[in-house]
Amino acid sequence: MFERKIFYALTVVALFTAIAAYFVKHDCLAQAPKTHGAKPEIPRYGLGRPAAAADFSKHDYPVGPKGSGLPKGRGTAAQGRTIYMQSCVACHGLKGEGTNEYPALEGGKGTLKSDKPLPTVGSYWPYATTVWDYVNRAMPYQNPGSLKPDEVYAVTAYLLALNGIVPEYFELNERTLPQVRMPNFDGFVPDPRPDVK
């Protein structure tokens, strides 16, 4: 048995040696010719197109914790319920309780320090503006970024109302959203390391 393993190992080494010798013989590993001062030509494969600035605008995340970058818009939980039922309920459940594959959005208060923490909009997120930003960029799962600002304000209001953070008819907009105080606002602490800004 030991002799068979040695035979296989030697066969593999011989195979790699033969492949390397072929590449050396046929100059496949030779370096590209040096161009004196000129830029080397970049190979073109005829696929795609050069990226434009508009391609990156979808991935701009300008909304800060204090509301910088929020667009104009408005919505209430009552309006958000309709959008939630159309776009969110399949993954997150009728009342934001979550499903086997997708997280709960409601509940979890007081569980973060327990053996079974339930991080939700109401128990974990420190800023309402972050909820808005996440919904805006990443939801609904099957078509992220497709909601208009008014719809994002409405869905965010609905999620906050589900968690008892705002009343059902409280209007969220670019001025009122940053003023919403989340239950876990004090649950995060600044990073004291000098190399972190």
141 near 87, Cβ under 8 Å? no
Whether pTM > 0.75 for this model: the answer is: no
Distances in Å between the Cα of 89 and the Cα atoms of 7, 141, 155, 156 are: 61, 11, 12, 14
For residue 54, which amino acid is it? Answer: A
pLDDT digits (tens, 9 = 90+) for 144-181: 999 999 999 999 999 999 999 999 999 999 999 999 99
154, 77 Cβ separation under 8 angstroms:
yes
- 76/166 Cα distance (integer angstroms): 10
Helix (H), strand (E) at residue 173: strand 172-173
CA atoms of 88 and 85, how far apart (whole Å)? 6
One-letter amino acid at 186 equals D
pLDDT at position 125 is 94
**How confident is the model at residue 28, as a pLDDT?**
57
172 beta partners = 75
Q: Please state, as a whole number, how many other Cβ atoms lie within 10 Å of the Cβ of residue 65.
A: 13
Task: Determine the CATH number of domain 66-187.
Answer: 1.10.760.10
Counting Cα atoms < 13 Å in the Cβ hemisphere of 115 gives: 0
What is residue 192's predicted lDDT score, i.e. its pLDDT?
Answer: 83
In the chain (197 residues long), the average pLDDT of successive 10-residue segments reads: 69 75 65 61 80 73 87 97 96 94 94 93 95 95 94 98 96 97 89 79
- Cα 160 to Cα 48, 76, 88: the distances in Å are 42, 10, 15
